[in-house]
Amino acid sequence: MQIISKAELSSLKTQLESLLNALIEINDKSSIENEIDASNRNLLETERHLRGALRELEHLSKSL
């Protein structure tokens, strides 16, 4: 039984990529303006988690 379709995974992946790109842009602007502080570290940690989620989605979509 397939719970999610390839199209749904693709849509989710596209949304995550968009969110990741927006976060990268914020991180880039933030790191230029300031030294890395706690909020920058939190943004970088969030970016790492989003990248991991994208890798898992890519792996899952290949196995369908």
pLDDT given for residue 61 in this prediction: 87
How many domains does the structure of the chain reveal?
Answer: 1
In a domain, 19, yes or no: yes
In a domain, 28, yes or no: yes
In a domain, 44, yes or no: yes
14-63: pLDDT as tens digits: 999 999 999 999 888 877 766 777 888 898 899 999 999 999 999 988 88
Cβ-count burial 5-30 (b if 16+ within 10 Å, e if not): eeeebeebbeeeeeebeebeeebeee
Higher model confidence: residue 13 or residue 29? Answer: 13
In a domain, 43, yes or no: yes
In a domain, 1, yes or no: no
Query: Domain range for residue 28?
Result: 7-63
In a domain, 2, yes or no: no
Taking Cα atoms as reference points, which of 2, 5, 17 lies closest to residue 55? 17
In a domain, 34, yes or no: yes
Q: Whole-model pTM?
A: 0.79
